[in-house]
Structure 1
Amino acid sequence: MLLNLREASGPLYRRVYHALKAMIRAGRLGPAARLPSTRLLARDLGVSRNTVMLAYEQLAAEGYLVSRHRGTTSVAGVMPSRVALAPARPKLEAAPRLSAYARRLVRDPLVPSSASATLPKAPRYDFRYGSPAVDEFPREIWRRLLAARARRAARESFGYGAPAGYGPLRDALSEYLARARGVSCDAERIVIVNGSQQALDLVSRVLLDPGDGAVVEEPHYSGVTIPFEAAGARLIKVPVDASGLDTSRLPLAGAGARLAYVTPCHQFPTGVIMPLERRLALLRWASRVGAWIVEDDYVSEFRYEGHPLEALQSLDRAGRVVYIGTFSKTLFPALRLAYLVLPSALVRPFIAAKWAADRFSAPLAQEALAEFITSGQFERYLRRAGSRNASRRRALIEALRRHFGDRIEIAGENTGVHLVVWFNDVKPRELDAVIARAAKAGVGVYSIAPAYTRPPDRAGLLFGYAALTEAEIRAGIQRLAEAF
């Protein structure tokens, strides 16, 4: 028997298997046709008998071969799937009937279009905003914590976890948030979720009905529009000025606004900080119109100038603020752990929504994180990261000033892990060409325009700096200047 083993790849037994299967499916080995013994075929092919035996066993398991008396092997009389043997015919299928939720979701250009969609390879000098310095994370400490938890963990840690999250982690967060951000809460009001994006998804499911108004900042974090619009909400875009969300432009009571999503400690993308007067005005508005405030307190841990303001939630006396925090920007994105601090009235519905979505978040990761916090490692790491980020921020500003001088204006540099650069001598329509030239030079820079509903009348770029060394920052900005 002649088999072409070159048309398939992989282990030798898989190549024999594929060659025989192709002959059967093509009809060259018909029903009940007898195959050579494993010893004889192995000799003809110059392979081991075990290789042929494995191929025969796989074909028999799939229903292509049957073993007869006295050890003979034949092609099965009936194939596993007659449909599979028929020539493929093009079939016109009607578009599937999707729910209104799914139709709204798939229209969003930010949503991946296929299962094979992956992030593009990062350029050599990538100023992507929001990326932490994952190379600086104490991996050995984290590895030991995970290994120790896996060894010592009770049986429950390998089973189903509590929807609200691991109790000791919620206890640790309650103490940390009170100390670091002035957040007033007990552990019973904290729900652990799989990243801040799941937090926003739960917010949309619990607090929004189709047609409800949802206030978002303009410009705004584009990820917030995905769950809100998928829930059928009407986006009410309120402009941001030098003091953050302009509270004088908030909708009146009859406008149907159910919530307002804000980033008061580091507005995304502009980086401006909302002063106390505006925070109090926002809280008064929420109480007056019966709306919820969703406070996204991302990267509030990093402030380089001035005295840090506590979270907006710390001022809330009426129980109107839903507070979101995440570890993706401070530790590493793959951890996929974030948390909600909820008003008492919302705890039960949010736990129910979390349970319906995915039951619980990974227990072992939560246990390791709880120990990382209670042992003091988390805050020690934040102090090191803050010092490192300050140096990298300074290097970025110096490099930008050196190469671009008064051609640029820098904004939003006092907090967070990114800043904004406005170019005085570049028109907005020219910016895409600049970004493309920078990419060819190995530099990744990102336009601020996608954060706006209508593109701004100035050319602006976002520069993240936490994930680059000072030397990489200087080299990257030099290459960027050469690309202009």
Structure 2
Amino acid sequence: MVPRPLPSPTALLESPLVKERDAGSMQRQLHDRLKRAILDGSLAPGSRLPGSRALAEALTISRNTVTATYEHLAAEGYVRPDRQGTRVTELSSPALLPKRAGKPAGTPTTALRLSNIKPSVSRAETDMALRPGVPALSHFPSAAWRRALDRAIRGAGSAALGYGDPLGEPPLRAAIARHLSVARGVRCEPHQVVIAEGAQEAISLCVRLLSNPGDIGWVEDPGYRGVKAAMHAGDMRIVPVRVDAEGLCVSERDWQKHSPRLIYTTPSHQYPAGSVLSIARRLDLIAQARLHGAWIIEDDYDSEFRHTGEPIGAMQGLVDDAPVLYVGTFSKTMFPSLRLGFLVLPAQLMSAVQAPLEEMLRGGHRHEQLAMADFIESGQFSRHLGRMRRLYRDRQQALRLALNKHFKVPHEIEGGYCGLHLTVRLPERYDDRRIATEALRHRIAPTPLSGFALQPMPLDNGLVLGYGNTPAELFEPLVKRLSQLARAVEI
């Protein structure tokens, strides 16, 4: 190799090293500047660095500082020492590579599937009024939850600081199985329950376990946006299926033309329309799924809060060995930041997916899982649900009254028999997205109904109003303001 010219020591640095504390140590300053000079090509590959004594004298710093810096750069691979000194290593520096024509520098290349995942219509803050999907956070029994956490931490000891069972803590899986059997009519054993970080991860697991790229997934239209993101991330082909007053409306032609691998539905309380999937459609969906080799993802996200009559049982428990994967979450019954959900897998699937699941998952939130098991088994969870049912029933009725009294535009109210939201359908001349955008300026966060639709139709125009985290006494002034905003955008 032909020796490169020895660079001037002072040419290596655009300014002298400084001794101020905020500037970092002399060694750190010298290291960062030499590294930058190597990466940007100022110090070319093969260049010999100044001797440690010469550089130390030129910079008026300790020779030990220079020696330590050179040793650090050598350990990182930027330079290598030889008998003639210290030379810059041959590197494929990004700064020295030729730029590709037609592609701006710095433009990242991402997976093509990301273009199918669209952002939410809005990112409203949790405490904004009328935001859907947020429970009554101020009514959560924090003291009881803190005691459950304390018991979990004391009881588990240091062992719970390590990795746990990848499928979830056994006490929580057993507690969930018992609760679902009584409260939702779900047929399962504890070993069929998999703990996930919320319903979204549970749905993503369904996609990863049961679909291949190009498989068809049916989703409700309008419906939950998160499932669309999960299916797009799995390179599935999404087919929207309309919902009506009886829930998911599937025709024989749908089965023949777009036979699915996965079917996503919210049968006990359709999100966002609020309808309930009729028993005839439930049984037919199960029978057809068996016939076509499809799997049903049943998302039971807020069905604990039934406001009239007896709770509607889960579809999973209707028949033996139903091809149904049951998804649930504690984000509505407890609080969203808990990030605990669960997936109940069919017994016939467990032998095939258990080993892959144990490799895909690592377990976590062990103290929270153990505390949640204690919260359920101690009866605190059931008592909390009872209090919240009464609160949400009162708030739903108050919001309905406020809409009937103060919402002075033509509208139709849907839902209200379950959950935490009402849907208000509007004529096309009231643009729901414009209303929602204007409402955010007043810290009111309804979600436009059209934002839930993959193939929007004229009837998909309206507002989804959450009443879970908004006090009832605020409904009248809030509805009056929404009414004003709706009339202001009327076409």
TM-score tier (shorter): 0.7 to 0.9
Give 2:254's aligned residue: 251
Cα displacement string for residues 322-362 of structure 1 (whole angstroms, at most 9, x for unaligned residues): 11111112112222211111211111333334323232243
- Rounded Cα–Cα distance in structure 1 between residues aligned with 2:25 and 2:399: 55
SS at match of 1:257: coil
- Partner of 1:232: helix, strand, or coil? coil
* Structure 2 Cα separation of the partners of residues 79 and 137 of structure 1: 64
Q: 1:250 to 1:80 in 2, by over 3 A?
A: farther
- Secondary structure of 1:107's counterpart equals helix
Distance in 2 of aligned mates of 1:141 and 1:93:
62
Q: Aligned partners of 1:306, 1:313: CA distance in 2, in Å?
A: 20
Corresponding residue of 1:476: 478
Residue in 2 that maps onto 1:431: 432
Q: State the secondary structure of the residue aligned to 1:191.
A: strand
> Which has the higher mean CA deviation after the structures are superposed, 249-258 or 358-367?
249-258
Q: How does 1:135-284 map to 2 (within 5 A)?
A: 135-249=138-252, 251-252=254-255, 255-284=258-287
Conserved? CA contact 2:223–2:272, under 8 Å: yes
Cα offset, 1:142, TM superposition:
2.1
CA contact (8 A) 1:125 1:472 kept: no
Which 5+ residue runs of structure 1 have no aligned equivalent? 42-51, 65-76, 96-101, 113-118
Contact 1:412-1:420 at 8 Å conserved across structures: yes
Give deviations 1:110-168, integer Å, cap 9, x for gaps. 369xxxxxx95628633221122233222232223223322331444222211221111
Indicate how the Cα distance of structure 1 residues 108 and 56 shifts in structure 2: closer, same or farther if over 3 A, else same.
farther
User: Retained in 2: the 8 A contact 1:328–1:335?
Assistant: yes
Q: What SS class does the counterpart of residue 461 from structure 1 fall into? A: strand
Cα separation, 2, equivalents of 1:300 and 1:143? 26
Q: Would the aligned equivalents of 1:123 and 1:439 in 2 still touch at CA under 8 Å?
A: no
Aligned to 2:313: 310
Tell me the distance in 2 between the aligned counterparts of 1:131 and 1:305. 21
The equivalent of 2:328 in structure 1 is 325
- For 2:368 and 2:334, how far apart are their aligned partners in 1? 13
Equivalent positions of 1:455-470 (< 5 A) are 455-458=456-459, 459-470=461-472
1:67-87, CA deviations, whole angstroms, 9 ceiling, x for partnerless residues? xxxxxxxxxx86999989998
1:439-473 per-position Cα deviation (integer Å, ceiling 9, x unaligned): 22222221111221222314311111111222343
Asked if structure 2 preserves the Cα contact closer than 8 Å seen for 1:214 and 1:260, the reply is: yes
Q: State the shift of 1:202 in Å.
A: 1.6
Counterpart in the other structure of 2:444: 443
Secondary structure in structure 2 of the residue aligned to 1:235: strand
Give SS of 2:254's match. Answer: coil
TM-score calculated relative to the size of structure 2: 0.77
Distance in 1, matches of 2:160 and 2:403, equals 49
Q: Secondary structure at the match of 1:238?
A: strand
- Name the stretch that deviates more: 437-446 or 151-160: 151-160
Deviation (angstroms), 1:365? 1.6
Give the match for residue 116 of structure 1: none
* Residue pair 1:123, 1:442 contacting (<8 A) in 2 also: no
Larger mean CA deviation between 121-130 and 173-182 belongs to 121-130
Kept in 1, the 8 Å contact 2:297–2:327? The answer is: yes
Q: Assess, with a 3 A threshold, how the Cα gap between structure 1 residues 233 and 31 changes in structure 2: closer, same or farther.
A: same
Structure 1 residue 374: Cα displacement: 0.4
Q: Note the 1:46-195 alignment, pairs <5 A.
A: 91-92=99-100, 103-110=111-118, 120=123, 122=125, 125-195=128-198
Deviates more, 1:103-112 or 1:288-297: 103-112
Describe the shift of the 1:480–1:256 C-alpha distance in structure 2 as closer, same or farther (beyond 3 A).
closer
Mapped to 2, the partners of 1:442 and 1:254 lie a distance apart of 45
Distance 2:66 2:404 in 1: 71
How far is the alpha carbon of 1:320 from its aligned partner? 1.4
Deviation at 1:35, TM superposition (A): 6.7
Q: 1:123 to 1:361 in 2, by over 3 A?
A: closer
How far is the alpha carbon of 1:252 from its aligned partner? 3.3
TM-score normalised by structure 1 residue count:
0.78
Measured against aligned partners, the alpha-carbon deviations of 1:217-259 in whole angstroms (never above 9, x if no partner) come to: 2222121122223333332332211111124456336853223
2: CA distance, partners of 1:79 / 1:196? 55
1:262-281 per-residue CA deviation (whole Å, 9 max, x = no partner) reads 11101111010112222222
Are the aligned partners of 2:248 and 2:277 in contact in 1 as well (CA < 8 Å)?
Answer: yes
> Match for 1:280: what amino acid?
L
Determine the C-alpha separation between the residues in 1 that align with 2:436 and 2:325: 37
CA distance in structure 2 between the partners assigned to 1:349 and 1:311 by the alignment: 24
C-alpha distance in 1 between matches for 2:232 and 2:301: 22
Give CA-to-partner distance per residue, 1:278-308, whole Å, 9 cap, x none: 2222222223323222111110001112332
Q: Distance between the aligned counterparts of 1:363 and 1:184, measured in 2?
A: 25
Cα RMSD (Å): 3.9
Match of 1:252, SS? helix
2:261 aligned counterpart, secondary structure: strand
Give, in whole Å, the separation in 1 of the partners of 2:323 and 2:93: 63
2:306 and 2:419 in contact (8 A); partners too = yes
Shift of 1:31: 6.4
Closer, same or farther: CA 347–253 of 1 in aligned 2, 3 Å:
farther
CA distance in 1, matches of 2:154, 2:129: 38
Shift of 1:203: 1.1
Matched, 1:412 2:415: yes
What letter is aligned with 1:261? Y
Please, which runs of 5 or more residues in structure 2 have no aligned partner? 1-14, 43-48, 75-84, 104-109, 487-491
Alignment of 1:3-82 (within 5 A): 12=22, 14=24, 32=52
Identity of aligned residues (%): 34
After TM superposition, list the pairs within 5 Å mapping 1:389-408 onto structure 2.
Answer: 389-405=392-408, 407-408=410-411
Distance 1:374 1:22, change over 3 A: closer
Aligned residue in 2 for 1:374? 377
Preserved contact between residue 205 and residue 353 of structure 1 (Cα < 8 Å): no
1:67 paired residue number: none
